[in-house]
Structure 1
Amino acid sequence: MTPIQHLLTFGLAALLGHAQAHVTLEQGEAIAGSPYKAVFKVGHGCDGSATTRISVQLPAGFRGAKPQPKPGWTLAIRKDKLTTPYESHGKTISEDVVELVWTASSEASYLQDAWYDEFVLRGSLPETPGPLWFKVRQSCQQGEWFWAEQPASGSSTKGLKAPAVLLMLKKPEAAGEHQH
């Protein structure tokens, strides 16, 4: 490959990588109705600007969310009344977490555009298999991304500029099936 071809190939790969870069989950599939540790991977800022805040809106049916604290970031938890309460450990839960927000405590804690980090929470997944969408607002020193677009049907994010974060829920295995 000539130096020019190498440069063009590298430039195209970098451009495509940036166009496809967004907030993603470490594990994009899980068993419906199971406990789940969501690791949101943030690989860039907003057009070169450092990330100062990450807000995760939890989808309906995601229960009992608990965020993992991050040094240098404050946590805020927003709860709301549930349309349909549920039982957990012998208690009726009538309100639950609907949004988690991590905010950098100081400029020294900002997630620079050239850096990578993860924001973690855990909770229980809905019982119904299929796509589950998390909306993530990434605020930066200048600008923001609102990763909230969803396809009209299905789970393909092709063509979406700022897709919501997808978790595909699979059916639990039938009793007696061997799991690897």
Structure 2
Amino acid sequence: MFQNPVVPARLARRLPVVAGLAAGSVLLLAAPAFAHVSVQPGQAEQGGYATINFKVPNERDNASTVKLEVTLPTDHPLASAMPQPVPGWQIEITRSKLDKPIETHGKKLTEAVSKITWTADGGKIEPGQFQQFPVSVGQLPKTDQLVFKALQTYDNKEVVRWIEMPRKGEPEPNNPAPVLKLTPASGDGHGSAGAGAKNGGGSDEAAQTAAADGSDTTARVLGGVGILVGIIGVGFGVLAGRRRGA
């Protein structure tokens, strides 16, 4: 049967375009995963201590982040929440009276940290950059998660409210609140996160490096797939050009 050689040639010429569009679409779908304010590592042990980082990416290309306000949970208050100094940022700690006192190390506490605010003082998070704000917290309560609602303020006065709770079986909300998952204690109940907090945070830093943020990992995988598809498309285009030349 006669085959028209023009059809495969046209198809080959179109493949790079289609592949490029596919790669761009994948990268566009992956990009929002990097834009969320999140808490890292995303998991810690109940009953222990941990140093967590609030990772704040700048998701605007025409403004810089100059303020972060993190509200600590009041349904499961933390006996201790100590932020680490961050160069170029002022820290304000708000304490509130507890409806029900909590006991730690044999002492009853009637108030706890309810909000931590970082305000730019010479520093800022510029477009295309992110900043981490470390906080040592504990003892972590016996619950499955802690929700830290956050407000991100830009120098153009825009405020992004990271306060939405994801619901099981539904798509992730546009502005999800940072969530720290808590798991039952193992060993002595302190875990590696607790040891890291006591020894200057070394183990916490290792845990943060090893722990993959789910959304970031997904975005990187999708981005890699998109790039691979684009490369394959370019290869088809080059091959088609050589056939036409022959």
Q: Please, what TM-score do these two structures have when normalized by structure 1?
A: 0.83
Distance 1:57 1:157, change over 3 A: farther
Give the corresponding residue for 1:101: 117
Q: Which stretch shifts more, 114-123 or 3-12?
A: 3-12
Give the Å deviation of 1:72: 0.8
Aligned Cα RMSD in Å? 2.5
Give the Å deviation of 1:99: 0.3
Q: 2:181 aligns with which of 136, 158, 168?
A: 168
Show structure 2 runs of 5+ residues with no match.
Answer: 1-11, 193-246
Distance 1:30 1:53, change over 3 A: same
Q: 2:164 aligns with which of 149, 152, 156?
A: 149
Distance 1:3 1:50, change over 3 A: farther
In percent, how many aligned pairs have the same letter? 30
Number of corresponding residues: 172
> Aligned pair 1:81/2:97, yes or no?
yes
8 A Cα contact 1:132 1:166, kept in partner: yes
Give the corresponding residue for 1:52: 66
Show structure 1 runs of 5+ residues with no match.
Answer: none
Give the corresponding residue for 1:132: 146
**Following the alignment from structure 1 to structure 2, what is the Cα–Cα distance between the partners of residues 47 and 3?**
29
Give the corresponding residue for 2:136: 122
Give the Å deviation of 1:38: 1.2
The answer to which structure has the higher helix fraction is 2
Which is higher, the Rg of structure 1 or of structure 2?
2
The one-letter amino acid paired with 1:55 is: E
Q: Which stretch shifts more, 73-82 or 23-32?
A: 23-32
The answer to which structure has the higher strand fraction is 1
> C-alpha offsets along residues 94-125 of structure 1, whole Å, 9 cap, x if unaligned?
1111000000013xx11102112101101114
Give the Å deviation of 1:164: 0.5
Give the Å deviation of 1:157: 7.4
**Following the alignment from structure 1 to structure 2, what is the Cα–Cα distance between the partners of residues 48 and 63?**
39
